[in-house]
């Protein structure tokens, strides 16, 4: 392959200074939703009980089952539920979608049990949870139940980093974003009418909040996973064992929004790529942005690699690879008209 180095002009509008950040959480992380870049970390790879933030994974599996609009008939599996609930009744008919609303908005442990029963039963569902965790890259996570309860059986353990990866994955699912961002909803079944208000206070107190999941048990203490968006910056925050977690998440987001912005690295409309081998017009399909501080611009480098021959299937003739501190962070493929 022939390699050609190119220069991409970047325009920077602001000088940003990253200030020191201190928070009370035992474990915490702030990441960029789009790139996965870690912007702040405190003991983020230490495993801990995660309580009801578990339900993000339960919701993911319910959504990906493709059965959201099927009717679930509640059976006596919910009789084992305790703690927070939506208080469904045996023989009540409710859609899986509405169970997910109850799961995420009200942290219904009975909803979690009904979901796992509908999707194959406890053992099969927990196996799917752990398989999905590995698929996402949650390498320090173990799930033992769909609810996050840890008093009568083994609880669920994860890290702030792994839970941030889970939220990043979940936020790429339209149904998850739609349900998780809902502040209030009225749900009707064949037996009852429910009025549910989201327990995620950030949705009501922080204008940039877009979703999240709360959690609490006596063993785990307070756990919280949230997301927020300001302009084109999308962030995820996770904290464990923080009595003021909602305020801490606001603080993390303000830190991120104040110090980082998305810089245009590849401009598909202005970039020009020359090749001796390919005489046609070469182009890329997408712009590429990377979240950085102003002072980090100099750490970005790009490299163009041209193939010896065009890929007949994909029509690709090469790619632009983007490096941050000499680490590859993105490939944008080059095509010929």
Kindly state whether residues 230 and 305 are assigned to the same domain: no
Kindly state whether residues 131 and 167 are assigned to the same domain: yes
Kindly state whether residues 297 and 178 are assigned to the same domain: no
Say how far residue 284 (Cα) sits from the centre of its chain.
27
Say how far residue 223 (Cα) sits from the centre of its chain.
16
Q: How far apart are CA 292 and CA 52, in angstroms?
A: 32
Dig out the tokens for 172 from the structure.
């790429």
Kindly state whether residues 273 and 247 are assigned to the same domain: no
CA distances from 48 to 57, 89, 108, 175, 192 (A): 16, 33, 21, 28, 37
Segments of the chain with pLDDT less than 70: 1-20, 152-153
- pLDDT in the model for residue 152: 64
What lies within 8 Å, CB to CB, of 113 at 6+ separation is 77, 78, 80, 81, 146, 147
Dig out the tokens for 121 from the structure.
């039963």
211: in domain: yes
CB atoms within 10 A of CB 335: 19
Structurally, the chain folds into a number of domains equal to 2
- pLDDT in the model for residue 2: 39
CB 288 within 8 A of CB 271: no
180: in domain: yes
Give the residue numbers marked as catalytic: 52, 55, 107
Residue-number span of the structural domain to which 267 is assigned? 263-336
Kindly state whether residues 59 and 170 are assigned to the same domain: yes
Kindly state whether residues 116 and 142 are assigned to the same domain: yes
Dig out the tokens for 62 from the structure.
């319910």
Kindly state whether residues 67 and 210 are assigned to the same domain: yes
> 160 phi and psi, to 5 degrees?
-60, -40
- pLDDT in the model for residue 276: 81
> Which CATH number goes with the domain that contains 268?
2.30.140.30
Model pLDDT for residues 201-241, shown as the tens digit of each residue: 999 999 999 999 999 999 999 999 999 999 999 999 999 99
49: in domain: yes
- Report the residue count for the chain: 337
Of 230, 259, 288, the position where a domain reaches its end is 259
Dig out the tokens for 142 from the structure.
């173990």
CB 235 within 8 A of CB 208: no
* DSSP-assigned states of every residue in 161-186: HHHHHHHHHHTTSHHHHHHHT-SEEE
140: in domain: yes
Kindly state whether residues 240 and 269 are assigned to the same domain: no
Of 225, 243, 259, the position where a domain reaches its end is 259
> Which CATH number goes with the domain that contains 42?
3.40.710.10
- pLDDT in the model for residue 156: 97
Identify the bridge partners of residue 301 per DSSP, sorted by sequence position. 323
As a whole number of Å, the end-to-end CA separation of the chain is 20
**Does residue 276 sit in helix, strand or coil?**
coil
- pLDDT in the model for residue 203: 98
């Amino acid at each position: 392959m022939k390699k050609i180095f190119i220069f991409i002009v970047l325009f920077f509008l602001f000088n940003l200074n990253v200030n020191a950040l201190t928070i009370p959480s035992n474990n915490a992380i702030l990441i960029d939703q789009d790139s996965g870049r870690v912007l702040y970390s405190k003991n983020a790879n230490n495993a801990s009980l995660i309580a009801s933030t578990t339900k993000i994974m339960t919701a993911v599996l319910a959504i990906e089952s493709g059965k959201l609009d099927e009717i679930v008939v509640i059976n006596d599996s919910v009789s084992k539920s305790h703690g927070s609930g939506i208080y469904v009744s045996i023989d009540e008919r409710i859609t899986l979608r509405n169970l997910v609303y109850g799961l995420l908005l009200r942290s219904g442990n009975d909803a979690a049990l009904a979901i796992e029963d509908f999707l194959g039963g406890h053992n099969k569902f927990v196996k799917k949870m752990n398989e999905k965790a590995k698929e996402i890259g949650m390498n320090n996570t173990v799930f033992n139940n769909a609810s996050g309860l840890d008093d009568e059986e083994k609880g669920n353990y994860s890290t702030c980093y792994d839970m941030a990866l889970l939220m990043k994955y979940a936020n790429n699912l339209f149904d998850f974003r739609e349900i998780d961002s809902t502040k209030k909803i009225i749900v009707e079944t064949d037996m009852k009418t429910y009025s549910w208000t989201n327990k995620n206070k950030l949705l009501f107190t922080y204008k940039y909040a877009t979703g999240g999941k709360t959690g609490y048990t006596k063993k785990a203490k307070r756990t919280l996973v949230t997301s927020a968006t300001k302009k084109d910056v999308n962030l995820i925050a996770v904290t464990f064992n923080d009595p003021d977690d909602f305020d801490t998440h606001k603080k993390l987001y303000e830190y991120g929004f104040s110090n980082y912005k998305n810089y245009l690295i590849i401009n598909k409309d202005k970039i020009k790529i020359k090749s001796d081998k390919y005489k046609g017009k070469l182009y890329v399909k997408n712009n590429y942005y990377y979240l950085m501080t102003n002072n980090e611009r100099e750490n970005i480098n790009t490299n163009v690699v041209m193939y010896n021959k065009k890929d007949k299937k994909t029509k690709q003739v090469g790619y632009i690879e983007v490096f941050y501190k000499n680490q590859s962070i993105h490939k944008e493929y080059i095509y010929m008209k």
